[in-house]
Amino acid sequence: MVGVVEGDIRLGSEVPDANFQRKIGYVQQEDIHLPTTTVREALEFSARLRRPDDGATNRLNHVLHTLDLLEMTLYADAVVGVPGEGMVDMVSW
């Protein structure tokens, strides 16, 4: 079963503009991912725990869709626990 979250987001009394969701992110406070994990691996791990058992291909497609939706495809192989890791490789492209 998938839950539905409804409501309004406000900053003080103002409703944020349409680009607000692209400017924010949620990071869980407890580090549940290994610091050597890549962004892609962290999403795959989360998908294994949260998505229905609809096959590895469907989970992988969901992860790829999520990376694309969040515009993080270029960062997919960046290491979670090392700030700036993965960025050096992209500069050389």
Q: Tens-of-pLDDT digits for all 93 residues of the chain? A: 577 888 887 888 888 887 877 677 666 656 566 778 888 998 888 888 887 778 778 888 989 999 998 888 988 998 877 666 555 444 433
12 lies in some domain = no
Is residue 19 a part of any domain in this protein? no
For the chain, the C-alpha Rg in angstroms (whole number) is 16
For residue 23, the SS3 value is helix
CA dist 36 and 41 (Å) reads 10
> Structurally, how many domains does the chain consist of?
1
SS3 of 79, please?
strand
Q: Which domain holds residue 87?
A: 27-91
DSSP3 helix / strand / coil % (the chain, rounded to 5): 40, 5, 55
Please report whether residue 17 resides in a domain: no
Question: Domain for residue 71, yes or no?
Answer: yes
Dihedral angle sign, alpha carbons of residues 17, 23, 24, 25: positive
Is residue 18 one of the residues assigned to a domain?
A: no
| CA 53 from centre of chain | 20
Q: Which residues contact 45 (CB under 8 A, 6 or more apart)?
A: 33, 37
